Structure 1
């Protein structure tokens, strides 16, 4: 049971986070707003478990295998008994008033179901103020001061009941695009995502390697799955066909040193993953459509390419 006055469970997902999670937990301990901290340890084998066992005021859910960021969030959700759920990377260190600011913004309106944060680079630059939706359906970091389509999962706050009603977290994504997919479903359900001035310093990619082969497999595959689940049918089919066509043409282009996202083998693995998960994506699409209060076309028209 949570203490009186605690409105948020902060869910921290870690995997081999021994080198950086202390900074995250120290920053949470310094918050001006009371909260519950739940760390999901994705079967770390680097001593993270021992470090967590030595911390006070931290609950730990240790998983038997690495389920990724999305899988960890999905495993934690049934254990959350507070009105709000915060998602926080283990390499993010929020400012002392972070939770106070995001809670205040989300409490100020019932129209919003999620609040974004401003993620800062170690040198103080703006890494992300949320997620924008590109004209081809990529979820990209927004860095301006205007409204955002979605939140970056590195540091965000969501209404727990709305998140559950919208279908929870897509555990099969493993990592990347679970935030864009969730924000998209919240908007289809008729809710807003608010941009806040709450800040958190973020190392970015401490557990994964942006630009690596695995990154592109997760990133591109989950983008296509998100489109199949949430976008207008024409957009989803267009982007899937475009991805397949570029993949088919790559053997004839003979690029001397192609980046991972332009390697035919990597892209074929993406298509295999999408094909394998297509039945579950289409079932999810049907469920999302049944809950929707705003049409897919309207959400796309409003936000794509902004």
Structure 2
């Protein structure tokens, strides 16, 4: 268990649990992505499960995901069915939109076509593949670590499957708050960073220019109650963080290219055109 500098008694709860889990204590909160990256170095099993702390999985969810990966050696990850506490589908995987967003697939079906990526709220990945494609982008802190990882898996020639029989109840946004400033900051920033790391460079540049242009025009629109992701200070913060991280992001892009066997343009044309 990776403990992100908690102060709510989690360590004591773990210490008293009959399973006596090994605990790695962080000195500060490094986010979901950071904790996954820290945990990866400790994992010595063929599979690594990702599970949000605001979830309640069915007893057989993990077994169903493992069976699905055992049955499909081409698949690097399997995405569970996330649903609200009253059973409404939230995600059975991730699709890629024409603007490069990783959007949840919410189709309530039992025989879902192959999805672009997995939802990191509840999934199972092959540990060796995750390591080979560069691990988890710890610097993302939260959000898009799953879409970025799925991108890299596909660039390396792997697939991702959906396993809607593996059910997990999810109190979506319980930690960050849907619509909060941090929610939109991480989403918008990490989408752009993912594109510069994984997508065709023309797509990444186009989206950065579009984001910058929309931001520049916001003062002229004088919106009385702007949507959370259209607030000028927040978008300036996103741009500042993206530009500050661009050199290291482009370096990561070079490393990702060295591990890739499928062109970025092929992945983009196949998956972004599906939405």
TM over 0.5: yes
1:102 to 65, 74, 82: 65
Structure 1: state its 5+ residue gaps. 1-38
Shift of 1:290: 1.0
SS at match of 2:41: helix
TM-score by length of 2: 0.95
- Aligned-pair Cα RMSD in Å: 0.9
C-alpha separation in 2, matches of 1:53 and 1:252: 56
SS at match of 1:132: strand
C-alpha separation in 2, matches of 1:264 and 1:206: 25
> 2:10 aligns to what?
48
Shift of 1:305: 4.2
> 1:223 aligns to what?
191
User: Which stretch has the larger CA shift, 93-102 or 150-159?
Assistant: 93-102
Shift of 1:54: 1.7
> 2:255 aligns to what?
287
Structure 2: state its 5+ residue gaps. none
Answer yes or no: is 1:172 the counterpart of 2:139. yes
1:184 to 151, 168, 172: 151
Aligned residues: 268
Would you identify which runs of 4 or more consecutive aligned residues in structure 1 move more than 3 Å?
A: none
C-alpha separation in 2, matches of 1:266 and 1:142: 27
> 2:104 aligns to what?
141
Shift of 1:107: 1.0
C-alpha separation in 2, matches of 1:199 and 1:293: 33
Shift of 1:129: 0.2
Query: CA-to-partner distance for each residue in 1:194-215, whole Å, 9 max, x for gaps?
Result: 1112111111112111211111
C-alpha separation in 1, matches of 2:22 and 2:84: 28
Shift of 1:131: 0.5
Query: CA-to-partner distance for each residue in 1:151-179, whole Å, 9 max, x for gaps?
Result: 00011000101100100000000000000
